[in-house]
Structure 1
């Protein structure tokens, strides 16, 4: 998952006038991603880990070792489910770190979390099916479901996560997409009662749950709750993981942990789109994990993210009209701060951009047809891991000056 949250309308042809174009091409008018942010990361860009700390020298040596003497079998068409060694290591890692009992046979390697979500949309949904998404939530997932022809329904999020009572009142809902470990973008953690209620909903309604654990490695206080996939006894949860938040986003490497009955079908479906994922990155990641570099890097990244979070928390501007205080941040790589109304939110974002600081507007994460009044959708979302502490402190100084003017 990334900070892409708004509809990018620029350079989009008005397909509605092209009557000969297919329905999916027509849908793209409203369901595509904006261009990614260009250039080196700035404070407080979303979706970016501390990749300045990645051991590129180690990665380069492992990559060179792979290409120095590649096995002939690794130069042909690969397994569409992914390299067996990597899948075994991911299964072992999830058993140890998440309490998620799974086998390599249940894992399909993907090109990041977004391909995993899109694959779920393509294979689990038919045009007209209803899908529940968190609102506010990760808009790129909603786009993927809409492109599959689904009807996307936003379900409110409170301090315990998705409101499952509201979900239960949605008629004919086939699938629910959630980010329970660290809700995107509000940052709340789904409570255990809500997790159990959501699993009960799926079992009663023969539905599916996509659990996106996009930054689950980052936990700073309290014991993490078991993932939905670890609590699932009915085979209804599809678990999405990614290496992009531990390594770097350009490494398009993610995975799906599937109920056993879906694993072969998802491998076959992926093969029709891309045959298989790029092999060398999979093999290098497998070596990176097998030699202990991955676990050491996770510890380094968690420590760095905590330090960067603390600098943001300590230096957050106070006494800015309409701007909330910095909340506690127990997990993840971003934080949501309240703002009292939409106009003020937009002004704060614009003033930040004017001084070279990236701050995302919470209002952009809501579905367009939300029942919630526009002023109640306001807030700021800040990623705190993208740049070192010194740059965070400098950005906060700029914000204090910019936001106190006028």
Structure 2
């Protein structure tokens, strides 16, 4: 190595490289190692300001690596401001100011033997206890699940029936359109409220098929129902506001409702749905969240009389109802119930309506909608723009084509038939294999939805049954994990999804449960 002035880098042999471990990408891997070790010596003060580094050629020869590896390492160090190159003179350590936690300047150390990096501080840095932090304390995102059709995974539709080939053709057609020199190409930013054509089609679907008269100007396209709930909460609630929520209920909704510092209060249920009398007893409440068409997770359907009482309460108390039409399309007798929002009959909008395509198409699509009074939409769209700007235009355009060409309604009918068939197969197998084991294995009625709720006597029973089911590869949802905030309800039970399981596999899974649950209650 050519002579260099002091202070200088430690002998090249002190740079501990591992070329054997970089066989797949040796150049990039080696340059990262060189960069990291020189950077550590500079930050530790072992190379003081002005220390001259070896030339790239000399260091490459000493380490027996390519000069390009050293060049890349030096370029990265220079881009980070750790070294500076001087024309005709070489590369030198930059002037750095190192401060301690008390902001007292610490002089750089002289060059010397390499020292190990200091151990990390074992004391964790806690997030400040903001309203956001508090709202998320009792919420865990749904675990990522791989595959489809596993019994009895809840919250999923019949993914095996999704028309992949058709969706692929629509996507390919969209991208072919974008390849043309078209000034209206959809590759730039879009309307935060959603693609106008998609909003028109959603409004038409809700008006004609769901019995909810609305206009495109009332529809905000969201990233699924979860974002719609969060946007409604952020728009309507202030810190300290009180929110009523069904108990047991949807835990992710409880977290979203509390993002802005609102206090989420449990409202108990009965066989007709949310108890309006219990809601009145809470005193002032700004907003109430409900899933009237098919309550999650119990499956209770709110009666017409209870719906009218809830709307009357909202008008009398200057409050709002956030209606999540969870599984509303999956009704197995007659036509799906009209949303509660349709009962307002032109009165001042007190009901915001939330819907999603996750249970009709596939959850990974992440498209849903919020229906609100038209004069609210500009503000709601600005809020959506602040959060994540807009939904993916390609997905919106493909969904719009899927709906406009009639594929969506045909798919909904097919999904409804499949869900009914799988529900019937599930109930038949359960009645034969599990109901005889214990009276508490008697299933409630399942008039709608994609899952069934099995009430249990205690959380201990819930845990025992869940653990045994998991041991034989069957998924069941524990109410303790999915049913609202832990402080909301002492109830226990299991949620079993039947819609994602092919009919042929349902009997086998039920028998497996019967074998491991025998004698546990």
Note the 1:242-281 alignment, pairs <5 A: 242-281=356-395
Query: SS in structure 2 opposite 1:314?
Result: helix
Alignment partners' CA distance in 1, 2:435 and 2:199: 47
Match runs of 1:149-160 below 5 Å = 149-160=261-272
Whether the 8 Å contact between 2:132 and 2:260 is mirrored in structure 1 is no
Which of these residues, 344, 347, 355, is aligned with residue 461 of structure 2?
344
Q: Name which of 369, 375, 380 aligns with 2:487.
A: 369
Bigger radius of gyration: 2
Task: Decide which of 154, 174, 196 is 1:46's aligned counterpart.
Answer: 154
Pair 363,117 (structure 1): closer, same or farther in 2 beyond 3 Å: same
**Alignment deviations for residues 38-73 of structure 1 (CA, whole Å, 9 cap, x no partner):** 221311111100011011100000000000122543
Matched, 1:27 2:134: yes
Superposed displacement of residue 214, structure 1: 2.4
SS of residue in 2 equivalent to 1:315: helix
Match of 1:79 among 187, 191, 195: 191
Large movers: runs of 4+ above 6 Å: none
Deviation readout 1:323-376 (Å, 9 max, x if unpaired): 331222111111112223332222111111110001112243143223x5x4xx
Instruction: Tell me the residue number matched to 1:390.
Output: 504
What is the root-mean-square deviation of aligned Cα atoms in Å?
A: 1.8
Is the contact between residue 242 and residue 262 of structure 2 (CA under 8 Å) also seen in structure 1? yes
Check 1:249–1:57 CA distance in 2 against 1; reply closer, same or farther (3 A cut).
Answer: same
Structure 2: gaps of 5 or more residues: 1-122
Q: Is the CA contact 1:47–1:383 (under 8 Å) kept in the aligned structure 2?
A: yes
Q: TM-score, normalised by structure 1?
A: 0.91
Match of 1:324 in 2: 441
Contact preservation (8 Å) 1:222, 1:330: no
Deviation at 1:260, TM superposition (A): 2.0
Structure 2 equivalent of residue 237 of structure 1: 351
Residues 1:241 and 1:25: Cα distance change in structure 2 (over 3 Å):
closer
Query: Residues 469 and 475 of structure 2 are in contact (CA less than 8 Å); yes or no, is this contact kept in structure 1?
Result: yes
Between the two structures, name the one with larger relative contact order (CA 8 Å, sep ≥ 6). 1
Query: Which string of whole-angstrom CA distances, capped at 9 and with x for unpartnered residues, describes residues 185-204 of structure 1?
Result: 01011111111111111111
1:60 is matched with which residue? 168
State how far apart, in whole Å, the 2-side matches of 1:24 and 1:168 are.
25
| 5+ residue gaps, structure 1 | 1-15
Q: In the TM superposition, what is the alpha-carbon distance from 1:35 to its structure 2 partner?
A: 4.5
**Counterpart in 2 of 1:36?**
143
Matched, 1:225 2:337: yes
- CA distance, structure 1, for counterparts of residue 393 and residue 129 of structure 2: 34
SS at match of 1:323: helix
The secondary structure found in structure 2 opposite 1:238 is strand
Deviation at 1:404, TM superposition (A): 1.3
Quote the residue 2:219 is aligned against. 107
Cα pair distance change 1:322/1:367, threshold 3 Å: farther
Cα pair 1:209 1:237 within 8 Å, conserved: yes
SS in 2 for 1:65: helix
CA distance in structure 1 between the aligned counterparts of 2:389 and 2:133, rounded to whole angstroms: 27
Distance 1:25 1:182, change over 3 A: closer
Distance 2:259 2:224 in 1: 18
State the TM-score, normalizing by the size of structure 2: 0.71
State the secondary structure of the residue aligned to 2:286: strand
Matched residue SS, 1:193: helix
CA distance in 2 between partners of 1:339 and 1:90 (Å): 39
Structure 2 Cα separation of the partners of residues 226 and 307 of structure 1: 23
